[in-house]
Structure 1
Amino acid sequence: MTAGQDSATSEALLARILSSLEEDKAEEIVQIDLRGKSAIGDYMVVCSGRSTRQVAALSEKLVQRLKSEFGRACKIEGKDTGDWVLIDTGDVIVHVFRPEVREFYQLEKMWMPAGTA
C-alpha cells in the first residue's frame, strides 16, 4: 500500500466513524488530526454518550459497523463499565465518554492546538 492509499483508507474510516456516531446520537463529537504528531493513529475522535448504556451501545454499534463494512476487527476496552470506552481501529482512535468522565480527563485539550479547545 502506498502512503496515499493509507491516507484514503483512514479518511474513509474516519468519515464512517463520524457518521456512525452521528446516526446513534453521540454528543459533542470532536475529531483531532494526529498525522505527524503521534504514531498511535492518523486521527482521534472524542465524543460523549448521555449514560453508561448509551456509551456502551455507541461503541458496540460502531465496532459492528466497522467489522461488517471495512472488515476491521477493532480493539475495544472499557465497554463493561460504560464510563469511558476506547476503540482502536488501527488508523483512528475513538474515545466515547460519559460527560462527567470526559470533563474530568479533558483529553481533547492534550491533543488540540493551543487556543482551539
Structure 2
Amino acid sequence: MQKKLPAKKLKAEPAETIAEKPKRARAKKVAEETVAAEPAPKKSRAKPKAKKKAGPTDGAKVLLDLVVKTLDDNKGEEILTIDLAGKSSIADFMVIANGRSGRQVTALANYVVDAIAKAGLPPCRTEGKSAGDWVLIDAGDVIVHLFRPEVREFYKLEKMWQADFRPEAEHE
C-alpha cells in the first residue's frame, strides 16, 4: 500500500507580481552588464609614502642589552657590539667577545642561551660549542661570536664588519 503524500499548497501570487518578474530579471541583467563595462578605477598618481629607514627595533636593543649584560656578568672579555644597520640584513647587531679558554667560551655560550630562554625569547641556534674555539649564537636580531683570544686574533672578525665599505668608491 502506498501512502498518499499531502498536496502542497501553492501560494497565490498577485497577477501584477507575476507580470513584473521578467522585468526585474531583465533589469538585474542590464545592471550587471553596466557594472562590468565600466573601466577600472585609475591608480593614484600620488607619490608612495617614504619607507622608514631600516634600523634596529626596540626588541633588538633589549636582546642586545641582555646578551651584553650576561657576558659581562659571567666574565666575558673584550665585549664589542657592532651595529649592522645598513651593512647586512642578517641581524641588527653583532656581539663579539672572548673567553680565556675553550671551556669558558662554551660556558659563556650556555649562559647566553639560558638567559635568552629565561627571558621568554625565541630559542637560539648555536654552532661550535663542542670545540670551544669559536661559538656562534644566532639569536635572531643579535648574532653573538664567542672566541678564544688566539682564534679572535686570527680571524679579525670585528675588523671586517667595522670597515666602511662603499661599493661606489671601488669604481672611481
Give the TM-score normalised by structure 1.
Answer: 0.90
**Whole-Å separation in 2 of the counterparts to 1:70 and 1:12:** 12
State the secondary structure of the residue aligned to 1:39: coil
For residue 31 of structure 1, the aligned residue among 74, 78, 81 is: 81
Deviation per residue, 1:68-110 (Å, 9 max, x gap): 1133200000000000000000100000000000000000000
Is 1:99 matched with 2:146? Answer: no
Q: How does 1:29-108 map to 2 (within 5 A)?
A: 29-108=79-158
Alignment of 1:110 with 2:110, yes or no, is no
The separation in 2 between residues aligned to 1:107 and 1:69, in whole angstroms, is: 28
What root-mean-square deviation, in Å, do the aligned CA atoms of Structure 1 and Structure 2 show? 1.6
Letter in 2 for 1:86: L
Task: Provide the secondary structure at the position in 2 that maps to 1:35.
Answer: coil
Q: What is the letter of the counterpart of residue 36 of structure 1?
A: G
In structure 1, distance between residues paired with 2:58 and 2:87: 18
Residues 19-78 of structure 1: CA distance to partner in whole angstroms, max 9, x if unpaired?
A: 000000000000000012101100000000000000000001110110111332000000
Which position in structure 1 is the counterpart of 2:63?
13
| Higher Cα radius of gyration | 2
Match of 1:32, as an amino acid?
A: I
Q: Classify the secondary structure of the residue corresponding to 2:57.
A: helix
- Structure 1 gaps of 5+ residues are none
Which structure has greater strand proportion?
1
4+ residue segments displaced more than 4 Å: none
Instruction: Count residues with an aligned counterpart.
Output: 111
